[in-house]
Structure 1
Amino acid sequence: MTDFIVYIDRSVVRDGKLEELKPAMAELVEFVEANEPEILAYDVYFSADEDRMTVMHMHADQASLEFHMQVGGPKFPPIGEFIDLETIDVYGHINESLIQRLKDKASELGSGRVSVHELHRGVNRDPDKSPTSP
């Protein structure tokens, strides 16, 4: 069984705020890269019409997501003026305390709901240890 945590949030970009949001998110990505060495991925996506934003991050375990919320948390509120966060979906097991922190984030940045999806079964492979052809 894996401890991986995948986090996905989806937001509506407020009218007229895209040109402010993009550099704010670029700054957040740079901050995460510099200050959160345990995070496996942190990606920001915009829909084709740029009226929606999705943020996806992947963590090796719950501790990494907790660290992200602690270290990155103070960087989230200013972004609230540019978005309305609608949903946070977490794939993997997290404790009630972390769920509450995510609910607080969702209500601070919008009207979002938080859903946690527990792993049923899966396969995870380390790309560095993939089989090679003869």
Structure 2
Amino acid sequence: MSNFVVYLDTSDVRPGKLAELKVAMAELAHFVEANEPRIIAYNVYFSGDGTRMSVLHVHEDLPSLEFHMKVAGPRFPPIAPLVNLRTIEIFGAVNDGLVQQLEAKTQLLGGSVLIHDLHAGFARTPPE
């Protein structure tokens, strides 16, 4: 079994805010890359028509996601006027403290938190 934690949030882009949101998310991705060395992947996706954004990140373990919330969390409020958050989905084991942080994020941006517990599977890491 895997200790990986996968985070996926999905938001509607507010009308007229796509260009501003793309700049903000590129800046956030750059910040995460520079300041969170344990995160495995952090990717921002937009639907073809630019009305929906998904942010997907993969963490090697729960402490990596907790660190992300602590370090990048202060950068979320300026993004709030640009999106309507639909869901935050977490795939993997979490604790009550993290769930509270995620619910606080939904208080800021809207949406709901869905937790998916691992039932079966594996993860491979590329050879070094």
Q: Deviation of residue 51 (structure 1)?
A: 0.2
Q: When the two structures are aligned, how many residues end up with a matched partner?
A: 128
Given residue 120 of structure 2, which amino acid in structure 1 is its aligned partner? R
SS state of the match for residue 105, structure 1? Answer: helix
State, as a whole percentage, how many aligned pairs show the same letter.
56
How well do the aligned residues superpose, as a CA RMSD in angstroms?
A: 0.9
Tell me the alpha carbon deviations over residues 7-50 of structure 1, each in whole angstroms, 9 at most, x when there is no partner. 00000000000011000000000000000001000000000111
- For 1:125 and 1:71, how far apart are their aligned partners in 2? 27
SS state of the match for residue 34, structure 1? Answer: helix
Q: Which runs of 5+ in 2 are unaligned?
A: none
Tell me the alpha carbon deviations over residues 108-130 of structure 1, each in whole angstroms, 9 at most, x when there is no partner. 012x110110000002112217x
Match of 1:65 in 2: 65
* Structure of greater Rg: 1
Q: Which runs of 5+ in 1 are unaligned?
A: 130-134
- For 2:123 and 2:83, how far apart are their aligned partners in 1? 33
Match of 1:19 in 2: 19
Q: Which has the higher contact order (CA 8 A, sep 6+)?
A: 2
Match of 1:117 in 2: 116
- For 2:108 and 2:45, how far apart are their aligned partners in 1? 21
Given residue 126 of structure 1, which amino acid in structure 2 is its aligned partner? T
TM-score (norm 2): 0.97
Tell me the alpha carbon deviations over residues 61-98 of structure 1, each in whole angstroms, 9 at most, x when there is no partner. 10000000000000001000100011000000000110
Given residue 6 of structure 2, which amino acid in structure 1 is its aligned partner? V
* Over 4 Å off, 4+ runs: none
- For 2:56 and 2:89, how far apart are their aligned partners in 1? 10
- For 2:47 and 2:54, how far apart are their aligned partners in 1? 8
- For 2:122 and 2:31, how far apart are their aligned partners in 1? 31
